Amino acid sequence: MKNEKSKIDWYILISVSALMLFGLAFVYSASAPFSEFKTGSTETFFMKHLWKVLFAIVLMFVFAKVDYHIWKKFSKPIMIIALIFLGAVLIFGEEVNHATRWLDLKIIVFQPSELARFALVIHLAVLLARDQDKIKDWKKGLKPILVFPGLIIVLIVLQPNFSTAFVILFFTISMIFIGNANLKHIAVIGVSSLAAGAIAIAYKGDYVLKRIVAFANELAMTFGGGTEADSVNSFVQYGYQQEQSLLALGNGGLFGVGAGASRQSDLFLPESYGDFIFSIIGEEYGFVGVALILMTFMFIFWRGMLVAKRSPDNFGYFLSFGILASLAISVFVNAGVNSALLPPTGQPMSFISYGGTALWLNSIAIGILLNISAQSGIYPNESGNPFKSK
């Protein structure tokens, strides 16, 4: 193996940059009708997204140059800041679509839950690397690790934002699993968390529960159960987005209707340029288009696991895996929602959907991953078992 350093994994850099740049075209096509309706110009939303993408690319390059070990010093301060913002959004945030998720700081409007997820990636990597010899001990090893994830999930549920809380729960379980925690402890955490989540939905998530019922009714119809009236009534009220999303994917067929020719983006599909942009890609570029998008993400994950395998230390290993796990969960939840394989949630398609908070934080995370790759001597012509633990 070469011992040179300072050479990042260019395959990851080029793949992520391509997703963001192609995302510009996707956002323009998906947002143009709504942008014209809202502002009188088809380009307003596109121009806003353009500068966010350019800034994201700059962030990725800048953080690729920052030694990833520095994050050990800042993991707890970033976590505390994230918790403060999560508390602030409950007090000062504006309610949109049955939830209070966004905080307006005048200079920027952002989603604190995304910052919390980013902070958790770093903090869990620090703790797992530090406490490997105690990880199988519940009181001394695992219990302290779960304090911050628990606080974050509770604050996010209070918004309420059950989809992001579920993503963070699944991510945390993935991290402690790869960190060699006791499987019995992981099972207890999973079961107790799901039970608590069910209680929280019953108590505070009436709208979420109705969406789940709508999703269940549609599944029942698909497999020959339930009644058409139940399916139609619940879907009209709480599953409209997924119904329009499926129409978009169905219209696309194998090769799509062509760039800019989407019909569902003509004010039929809400959030067509945000959480449901994946469906518009499917309509305009067909099954081939969405398959290429998913294959690109899979390629990034594979390259990222090579980085994790060859990272210089345990912290680099867990940090690489955390970045990849967080990204992978978000991507496949979004794709699952767009294709009605999962109940509707508010997860954007990473690097592609319109927005700022998630795009910037994901770009910083990729920058960190690139720095780890530079220090581990990864080159495009090398390969190996990406799942080998440190």
- Cα–Cα distances (Å) from 178 to 124, 168, 172, 185, 296, in that order, read 11, 15, 10, 13, 24
Q: What is the pLDDT of residue 177?
A: 93
Q: What is the pLDDT of residue 197?
A: 80
Look at residue 4 and tell me whether its pLDDT is greater than 90: no
Residue 148 has pLDDT above 50, yes or no: yes
199-241 tens-digit pLDDT: 877 776 566 666 666 666 665 555 555 544 444 444 444 567 7
Give the range among 23-37, 182-196, 217-231, 358-372 with minimum mean pLDDT.
217-231
Handedness of CA 271, 338, 265, 229 (dihedral sign): negative
Asked if the model's pLDDT at residue 110 lies above 70, the reply is yes
The 3-state secondary structure of 144-155 reads HHCHHHHHHHHH
User: At residue 361, does pLDDT exceed 60?
Assistant: yes
Coil, helix or strand for 13?
A: helix
> Rounded mean pLDDT of 185-196?
90
User: Which residue's structure tokens are 């062509």?
Assistant: 258
Percent with pLDDT over 70 in the chain:
84
| CA 87/CA 83 separation, integer angstroms | 6
pLDDT band for 363, please (50, 70, 90 cuts).
Answer: very high
Domain ranges of the chain: 10-376
Please say whether the beta carbons of 274 and 256 come within 8 A.
Answer: no
pLDDT in tens, 39-94: 888 889 999 999 999 999 999 999 999 999 999 999 999 999 999 999 998 888 77
Mean pLDDT for the stretch of residues 308-333: 93
Residue 104: its pLDDT value, please? 76
User: What residues have CB less than 8 Å from 57, skipping those under 6 apart?
Assistant: 17, 20, 363
In the predicted structure, residue 355 carries a pLDDT above the cut 90: no
